[in-house]
Amino acid sequence: MASPSKPKSATAAAASAAGEEEELKDVSFLRMFVVYFFLPMVLLAMMGVAIRWFEIQPSSLSSQEYLKTKQAQKEAFLQQAREELEEQRKTTTPEKKKRTGRQAEEASRKKSQSRTATTMMKPDLVQKEKQIAAARNNYKNHPDNALFAWQLAELLLQKGMSAHASGGERMEAVKAYESAISLTKVDRQRLQKAGKPTNVRLDGGVSNSLNEEIILDHATKSMDGQLCAMQVSLGQLFHSLMSFESAVEVYTQCLEEVDENYMEALFQRASSLLKIGKLKQAGSDYSRILMLHKNLSLLGGDLKLIYSGLTTVLRDNEENVPGGWGPLLQVVREMYAQVNEQLASWTNSNDPQQTRSQISLIEELKELHFVMFSYYDLKTKNTEEAWKHLKEANRMKQSISQPYDRAFMEQRSRNIRDIFVPTFWPKGIGSELQTPIFIIGFDSYGSTLLEKILNNHPSISGIGSGYSVFGNQINAIRDAIVEASTTVGGNVREVVNDLAQDVVTGMMDRWAFLHNTTEKCQEPPLRLVDTLLANYNSVGFIHMLFPKALILHLVRNPMDVLFSSHHQQDYPRGGSSLDHTGDFESLSHMYKLYRDMMDHWNKVLPGRIHHIRYEDMIQNMPGMTRALVDVTGLEQDETMWESKKNSFDNDLTQAWTNYESQLQPLMKLVGEQLHYEQKTTLPVS
């Protein structure tokens, strides 16, 4: 029988009551803050983002129908947001029924999720869900039909590429593709054993090369064409999941078993090889594509990625590519003349088809200028010519990208700083989990090296550079906290713990998927690394969910990081959908907001973030490695100390000094923040 509890002393009872009252005050303050300040700000910010998204979409600029309905879409969204805000406010009125306990909290959360899914889901996504349901049914009833398996996989892939698919749906797509490929291989082997050709198309024609079938519909392709198309699609799915080794393996099957010159597979394999650092092999694939350059037009929009990928390989080491810069320059000069001639010949900007083609050509021209910048910057050291091409490349990028909105970004940053004040975080709320390690910063250069150092520890694993389970769930995290905080009887502590567990589960699922193709860890890791650097805006929520998780801030010389951003070919990722890299005003403004945000976190959460200077990291790799392991709380592993500095680490620091005169306007705009005195806070020995 359980022993009776001892009566509390008057002092203990008073202390307990005071503690409970203080905790209730903390939670009440959070609710009040969310209802009257945070929620309106969030919804207004969402309205602003959506309006800008409706207004400026490069892929939609050419659509006359879109231009006619733009205003109606904006008004509909505004009305929806107003109704959403009013409904949330009603949750605090006396007329609302009082609901308590876990059951009410779950009902409220499900209602919120259902409402959000219903109001925010686009019509095309609703239609896609119906198509997926029908495809699932067909595949279930005909599991031996390769076409049904392929159709399901394709629909899931399309949804996955648009960031709407769940992890389970992506895995379902992988299995469907694998089934379709396996069934097609059986059919292909049956034809081969019967002495029949496998390169005969539906129209009866014979394909001498799979490149002849790139633009054909799947059903009209030959058996060979269908097989390789499935393998390329599966590889693309693996690539999107950052399982690059698996992607390479699938592309290689197509190239070795069917057609070694299939350009789509060569290009995709080179892209995946690039991601895992196998630059020489990537260079070989890119070179083979250039040898087939008379057929390059078949690759369409992928051309610009070939230019940028091959440039990356050449920047690392010219010997990675047979003939060095020569073959690429020959193709670039030919294409440069062709693209300019086509752009000059088009004058009817009201033609949607022509406008789409112009945007594609401008994208290609942008990449050509970036190639020439890299060539003059690295090969000839002609900084004057290099700068001309860089300036033109950025001008092209700005002409087709969503413009940077200074006022909107300032308001967003101000909202975050106003919301997350020292009294925001209630006591006793937050998970005890220390699994995630968050790497944050302004620019991605250097984060890969930091992640690699951590990844060398047997109990630490990355989940893909730039991939963030937390970042992908940030909106759902925010909404769930708001819901629990504004619902009578809502249990904020329990909701936060559940959300934290969901993030860790997602990270573990992600690791488990990647682990299928790696032998690094035999047991699940104790720490998982999130490298979405733009999470510097989300430190407040990270701390709320994971008060004991490690947050590493990568600091670099301001001009190094700014110049690196200014000549990056890719568009910004994670921080916003607005391009801030193409001009000095936007770049300096975004950098200042980043610095202000980091100053804010240091002020309201002193000591919470561990700062690492990139320069310190490359100068003392063994010492930094030991310090990093110490701060994770894991045991030291001497094999980590053998990490070598990559050749590019020192080469690209201070690279901006070659363009100091051209960068003077940027330096003036950055002003006093041109100097960043933040020191490494880890005890490096």
Whether the per-residue pLDDT at 10 is higher than 80: the answer is no
Residue 240 binned pLDDT confidence (cut-offs 50, 70, 90) = confident
pLDDT at site 227: 96
> Average of pLDDT values for 88-116?
40
Residue 44 binned pLDDT confidence (cut-offs 50, 70, 90) = very low
pLDDT at site 122: 54
pLDDT at site 156: 85
pLDDT at site 42: 46
pLDDT at site 402: 81
Angle, helix 123-141 to helix 146-161, in steps of 10 degrees: 150
- pLDDT cut 90: percent of the chain above it: 34
pLDDT at site 659: 94
CB-based contact 515:521 (threshold 8 Å) = yes
Average pLDDT score over the chain: 77
Q: How far is CA 417 from the centre of its chain?
A: 24
Q: Which two tokens stand for residue 482?
A: 């708001």
Residue 603 or residue 398, greater confidence:
603
Whether the per-residue pLDDT at 94 is higher than 80: the answer is no
> Average of pLDDT values for 266-283?
92
> Average of pLDDT values for 530-546?
90
Among 241-255, 274-288, 507-521, whose mean pLDDT is lowest?
Answer: 507-521
What's the pTM value of the predicted model, to 2 decimals?
Answer: 0.73
Residue 231 or residue 476, greater confidence:
231
Among 70-79, 393-402, 503-512, 623-632, whose mean pLDDT is lowest?
Answer: 70-79
pLDDT at site 638: 76
Whole-angstrom CA distances from 337 to 331, 343, 365, 482 are: 10, 10, 10, 56
To the nearest 10°, report the CA torsion of 385, 387, 393, 399: -120
Residue 363 binned pLDDT confidence (cut-offs 50, 70, 90) = confident
> Average of pLDDT values for 356-383?
88
Tens digit of pLDDT for each residue in 378-402? 899 999 999 999 999 999 888 887 8
- pLDDT cut 70: percent of the chain above it: 72
Residue 283 binned pLDDT confidence (cut-offs 50, 70, 90) = very high
Whole-angstrom CA distances from 447 to 69, 110, 607 are: 42, 37, 21
CA distance 107 to 462: 35
Residue 601 binned pLDDT confidence (cut-offs 50, 70, 90) = very high
Q: 577: Cβ–Cβ under 8 A, 6 or more apart, which residues?
A: 49, 52, 53, 402
Whether the per-residue pLDDT at 546 is higher than 60: the answer is yes
List the helix and strand counts (H, then E) for the chain. Answer: 26, 5
CA distance 481 to 465: 28
pLDDT at site 578: 60
pLDDT at site 277: 86
> Average of pLDDT values for 77-87?
46
CA distance 644 to 653: 17
> Average of pLDDT values for 312-332?
89
CA distance 486 to 84: 14
Q: 499: Cβ–Cβ under 8 A, 6 or more apart, which residues?
A: 473, 477, 480, 481, 545
Residue 351 binned pLDDT confidence (cut-offs 50, 70, 90) = low
- Nearest C-alpha neighbor of 82 from the set 33, 51, 43: 43
Among 64-68, 438-442, 650-654, whose mean pLDDT is lowest?
Answer: 64-68
Residue 645 binned pLDDT confidence (cut-offs 50, 70, 90) = very low
pLDDT at site 72: 47
Structural domains in the chain, sorted by start: 121-272 (1.25.40.10), 277-281+289-400 (no CATH), 411-674 (3.40.50)
- Nearest C-alpha neighbor of 511 from the set 167, 172, 159: 167
What's 528's DSSP letter?
A: E
- Position of tokens 């005169």? 661
> Average of pLDDT values for 414-423?
91
Whether the per-residue pLDDT at 631 is higher than 80: the answer is yes
Residue 487 or residue 101, greater confidence:
487
> Average of pLDDT values for 456-479?
80
pLDDT at site 107: 39
**Helix or strand (DSSP H, E) at 118:** helix 101-120
pLDDT at site 230: 95
Burial class (CB in 10 A: 0-12, 13-18, 19+), 243: buried
pLDDT at site 642: 57
Q: Which two tokens stand for residue 410?
A: 């300032």
Residue 671 binned pLDDT confidence (cut-offs 50, 70, 90) = very high
Tens digit of pLDDT for each residue in 173-228? 889 999 999 999 999 999 999 999 999 998 889 998 898 898 888 889 999 999 99
pLDDT at site 4: 41
CA distance 304 to 307: 5
> Average of pLDDT values for 119-146?
81
Residue 214 or residue 24, greater confidence:
214
Single-letter residue type at 214: I
